[in-house]
Structure 1
């Protein structure tokens, strides 16, 4: 299906004439020419059409790809949904596949996926399976070169956090806010920044950098006021603060938040929080001993 065919389909389903959809956006002739697949559409004009049709960009791309996930979306789904269930040899094959795809397409997305998989295996085995020093520099140079970060850049940084020093992450956080300011009113941005801060907190706790952990918890609490994830993020802040107290040897009820997640039906998430609690408390006791 072409852009013109899809726009015509969406317009007719919503009972609009060509004149009604085009009014104030383009001439009716421009829309008609587009719908008859005789020209490409200007991106600003397309966005204006979609706004009048009350169709989001994400929805439009889903429809445009024939109600199926794109190759990149399938790759992302594999990485985030299935990776932990796959055997190492399969993951190593994926790394080779993504490297090959990057070589052929020059699409940096696949380069990042291969690096993230390398980092995952290194962390999973708690040893260096892959030398990622060169990969780290590739990621750093890319992020430093891009002056206007979007979802892609924020995801790269959030998923590769632990290859950076704590000082680098803390310094880059301020830069991140400046580079993504233009996106701050978009719901997906708020979701991205929330995920990023949650990752920062966990990493700071793992590194026993409790001052940084408290800083990121404060940032998450403040930002959560403006996000659709407010309830979740506030519950996570309570969990992190209680866990932080326990790690410092102060009595705190970490299990309270975990119980709330269980009551809400998020049993897998609650189990993840229990595992994180046990792992960090065990590591803390070992360092004291």
Structure 2
């Protein structure tokens, strides 16, 4: 739906009168033009309307996208799924789609670059141009938002450990503020989980230990089940790798709990890391 169309949709579904939504700030004629997308309203008036509708910016745009995430974020998820399934043809089709629109905005260009990088990785190749575009963008951003976190989480495997450490130093304090936005969960914690997994994949145990220490410092709400499961699992996994324990019952409990909650994909990921760890050195 368009912006004005969404405003009128919400007004009607909530049975809010024109008098109530316009108040003394907006004339009926002006509201008609806004709701029919005949005029661009100011941010002040738009916020006034949202307050009358009793919806937040996030809720409004979720409804505007027909109760879906924005397409760009849906395509990030799709790209990751196709990469995990090693579906080169699906990635090729997405590359063609974004090649046609990559010059429209930075976001389309970034996703195009990510798709190229993912396809090349499956072919055991690399694309220095696309990698540099993502590197240059992320390194110059001082204040990260949800978008930068999603981008980084999907492409961090192309970066060096030194670069990742710089990113973590720059962004953790900023991202911690997102813990109050329930739809985003704990952005900083989830980013660290991905960095920790990458460190384990690279057998960089010192970095992994440092990242885990940062994860322990983040205050998690009781209902962040994914985050608590990750912390408990990796606490025990790193203790096992460092030779502090040989007991695997603690993370077996986490895996069984995830299966009970229906998080079978996450349980499988944890099972894989547990299996791989038993085949590696038990001391750093």
TM-score, normalized by length of structure 2?
A: 0.82
Q: Say which is worse superposed, 169-178 or 149-158, in terms of deviation.
A: 169-178
Q: CA deviation at 1:176?
A: 0.9
Question: Alpha-carbon deviations, 1:195-219, whole Å to 9, x = none?
Answer: 2111011112222333332332233
2:200–2:208 Cα contact (<8 Å) kept: yes
Q: Structure 2 CA distance, aligned partners of 1:263 and 1:183? A: 28
Within 5 Å, which residues of 2 pair with 1:1-289? Answer: 2-23=2-23, 26-29=25-28, 30-35=30-35, 37-66=37-66, 71-85=71-85, 87-103=87-103, 105=104, 107-121=105-119, 123-124=121-122, 128-129=124-125, 131-180=126-175, 183=178, 185-226=180-221, 229=224, 231-249=225-243, 250-253=245-248, 254-284=251-281
The 1:244–1:73 alpha-carbon spacing in structure 2 relative to 1, beyond 3 Å, is: closer
Q: Structure 1 CA distance, aligned partners of 2:101 and 2:12? A: 39
Q: Secondary structure at the match of 1:148?
A: coil
Q: Secondary structure at the match of 1:240?
A: helix
The 1:188–1:211 alpha-carbon spacing in structure 2 relative to 1, beyond 3 Å, is: farther
Q: Structure 2 CA distance, aligned partners of 1:148 and 1:63? A: 27
Q: CA deviation at 1:189?
A: 4.6
Superposition RMSD in Å: 3.1
Runs (5+) with no aligned partner, structure 2: none
2:175–2:188 Cα contact (<8 Å) kept: no
Runs (5+) with no aligned partner, structure 1: none
Q: Structure 2 CA distance, aligned partners of 1:93 and 1:283? A: 38
The 1:84–1:251 alpha-carbon spacing in structure 2 relative to 1, beyond 3 Å, is: same
Q: Structure 2 CA distance, aligned partners of 1:94 and 1:268? A: 24
Q: Say which is worse superposed, 68-77 or 6-15, in terms of deviation.
A: 68-77
Q: Secondary structure at the match of 2:279?
A: helix
Q: Secondary structure at the match of 2:143?
A: coil
1:220–1:233 Cα contact (<8 Å) kept: no
Q: Structure 1 CA distance, aligned partners of 2:240 and 2:177? A: 39
TM-score, normalized by length of structure 1?
A: 0.80
